[in-house]
Amino acid sequence: MAGVTTPPTDVNAGPGSAGVHSDSTKKKDALINHMDINVPEAEKRINGALNLHDFYTVYLIETKVTDPVWLQNQKDGTIVRLGSLWRRYTEFEVLHNYLSSMYPYIVLPPLPEKRVMFSWQKVATDTFDPDFVDRRRAGLENFLLRIASHPILSFNQQFLAFLQQEQGWQPNAKEHGYLQQLAESTQKSMIGLRELDKRFEQVKNYSNELQGNMTNILRVRAILAERLYGIHKLHANYGRVFSEWSAVEKDMGDGLQKAGHYLDSVAAGIDTALEEEELLADQLKEYLFTAGALHTVCCRHEMLQFQVERAQDLVQQHVSKLERVQQGKTSLMSRIFGTVDTDELREERVSVLEQRIEEHKGSVSNTIEQRDTFSKAALVDIERFQEQKVIDMRETFANYIMLQMKIARKGLQTWTHIRDCLESIN
């Protein structure tokens, strides 16, 4: 049946994947336990010898097995070539879309932003800017590590091929049908469903709240960074004035000049601090995008519920037709042409309708089974996501606080030096 695919036993899953079963995510083994994955650098390239303005960026992926015993036990040949290779951002997108369609019940890790979001004065909007490219490089590495840490996704053969094969790794869209599945599974929420699963409704509402909260935090942070940057840079004016002033003051010159240098350091020191803060903002952006992935899982569940109700409606429609035929009520065409159904024709129509009713009842059972299987697997992965989110958020906010304390300590130290310089004036 068209629509959202339920979690089938993954024919592409390698050792360690448990496919659809809800206890699969309880199996903690994942690729990250046996392999190091890094994206250490990015490189700007020219597409074509004649068109010098058609640039693109590639990212180096390095892989290395850290568990030789595990590698020796791989009998299916899925790990054949590790080392290094280059990938474009669009290839990461292909992998993401493929995994999203093959595992619709999983809250898929997001890719880093394609365009700059929540920008402010210091953040460049040019996608070829070295700072932006480096942050995207870190985001792509995090994306691969998230997949490699997942007990199901990490052993998908397409993902393993992505890490190893320069060419020929991309999934065949016609063979897997993943592009069509992706388009169907990301439709908007179903409106007018008779039955809504309260568990998924709660998760869906939470995903909207999480997305709103992350948006507000990032927006406020961008405003604060803009103003903090501006205030610190204004201190360079103090430094210039004090330096110029020291040239005309015989007794106060040394103290004013030293104070001016420290004021210059106030202006210059904010750059590094805000660059570190931008990395923490990227970690919050990851959960902004993950909230969208969580919402998508809920919409896919609604699609399955829609298919269940549509199958139930077909059963009810044919039951109503059967009742009318059994009661001897003529069809619309018979009334128009003035004909009367014979007993033989009526019995034939009853037989056909009864057969169709049984077929549709089978369809109802199948769609209910698909929905319930999806629900079971999705709720397990949502729980995994929630546990990981708590760990990540705690670490991100702790690092943010430590960074602010570091900025404050450095500022206190600098202003203490400025005070000493001014107090040394005779």
Q: Which residues are CB-neighbours of 333 under 8 A, at least 6 positions away?
A: 339
Considering only CA atoms, give the Rg of the chain: 31
What local confidence, expressed as pLDDT, does residue 12 receive?
A: 45
Euclidean distance between CA atoms 27 and 18, whole angstroms: 8
What local confidence, expressed as pLDDT, does residue 318 receive?
A: 83
Q: Is 60 exceeded by the pLDDT of residue 163?
A: yes
Q: Which residues are CB-neighbours of 271 under 8 A, at least 6 positions away?
A: 122
What local confidence, expressed as pLDDT, does residue 174 receive?
A: 52
Using 50, 70 and 90 to split pLDDT, how confident is the model at 359? confident
Question: What number is the average pLDDT over the span 412-418?
Answer: 93
Q: Is 60 exceeded by the pLDDT of residue 284?
A: yes
Q: Is 80 exceeded by the pLDDT of residue 179?
A: no
Number of other CB atoms surrounding residue 224 within 10 Å: 13
Q: Is 80 exceeded by the pLDDT of residue 20?
A: no
Collapsing DSSP states into helix, strand and coil, what is residue 39? coil
Q: Is 80 exceeded by the pLDDT of residue 192?
A: no
Q: Is 90 exceeded by the pLDDT of residue 328?
A: no
What local confidence, expressed as pLDDT, does residue 116 receive?
A: 80
What local confidence, expressed as pLDDT, does residue 170 receive?
A: 83
Nearest to 367 by CA among 321, 284, 309, 422: 309
β-pairing, 55-65 vs 35-38, is antiparallel
For the chain, percent of residues with pLDDT exceeding 70? 82
Q: Is 90 exceeded by the pLDDT of residue 180?
A: no
Which range, of 49-58, 229-238, 330-339, 403-412, averages the lowest pLDDT?
330-339
> Are the CB atoms for 243 and 320 separated by under 8 Å?
no
Q: Is 80 exceeded by the pLDDT of residue 261?
A: yes
Domains of the chain by start residue, with CATH: 29-169 (3.30.1520.10), 184-328+345-425 (1.20.1270.60)
What local confidence, expressed as pLDDT, does residue 17 receive?
A: 38
Which range, of 10-19, 46-55, 158-167, averages the lowest pLDDT?
10-19
Question: What number is the average pLDDT over the span 186-212?
Answer: 83
The structure tokens listed for 219 are 């927006």
Using 50, 70 and 90 to split pLDDT, how confident is the model at 150? very high
What local confidence, expressed as pLDDT, does residue 370 receive?
A: 93
Question: What number is the average pLDDT over the span 139-162?
Answer: 94
**pTM, entire model:** 0.82
The structure tokens listed for 96 are 């993401």
Using 50, 70 and 90 to split pLDDT, how confident is the model at 18? very low
Partners of 408 in the beta sheet?
Answer: none
Euclidean distance between CA atoms 104 and 293, whole angstroms: 10
Question: What number is the average pLDDT over the span 400-412?
Answer: 93
What local confidence, expressed as pLDDT, does residue 182 receive?
A: 45
Average pLDDT, the chain: 83
Question: What number is the average pLDDT over the span 17-31?
Answer: 53
Using 50, 70 and 90 to split pLDDT, how confident is the model at 19? very low
The structure tokens listed for 348 are 């034939």
